[in-house]
Amino acid sequence: MINWVLRGAVLLWAVFFVIVGARGLLDPASYSETFQIVVAGAATNTLRADLSAFFLVAAGAAALGALVPGWTRALLVPAALYGTALAGRLFGAAMGDLVNGSIVQAMIIEALSVALMVGSWWILSRPAAATVDGVVEDRPVL
């Protein structure tokens, strides 16, 4: 039962970030609303490409890891991306970058995303228990 709950949570997470990535791909100015980034000139193309790729790759890997049996390691891709983003924010804060409510909110989302992906990978990649004559035995995941 917990496997289905985790798969559902990861898929909802993936859908949300597909929407964020697709919205940014179609309208990079949406990133200025969401992330308080000024979009002007050549920066428009960079934001469209880089930020959209970040969100779409993370969401695609999460969906792949949740839906395809045996591919749970794909959940480590968004964990690595969001973990790196969180580490960058922490480094920036340590270097004196401005940290406001939006930055703190982003850091919380990144930390929760890493926890969801790593936790889901950990639980979904464990061998399932099988019962033989009422005795629980471990069996390998196929």
- According to the model, what pLDDT value does residue 25 have? 93
The beta strand positions in the chain, using DSSP E, are: 129-132, 135-138
- According to the model, what pLDDT value does residue 135 have? 57
- The number of angstroms, rounded, from the C-alpha of 29 to the middle of its chain's C-alpha atoms is 22
Q: What is the DSSP letter of 131?
A: E
Q: Three-class SS of residue 70?
A: coil
Q: 129: burial class by Cβ within 10 Å (0-12, 13-18, 19+)?
A: exposed
The pair of three-digit structure tokens given for residue 45, joined into one six-digit string: 């193309």
- According to the model, what pLDDT value does residue 113 have? 98
pLDDT per residue, tens digit, the chain (142 aa), is 889 999 999 999 999 999 999 999 999 888 887 787 887 888 888 889 999 999 999 999 999 999 998 999 999 999 999 999 999 999 999 999 999 998 999 999 999 999 999 999 999 998 766 555 555 555 555 4
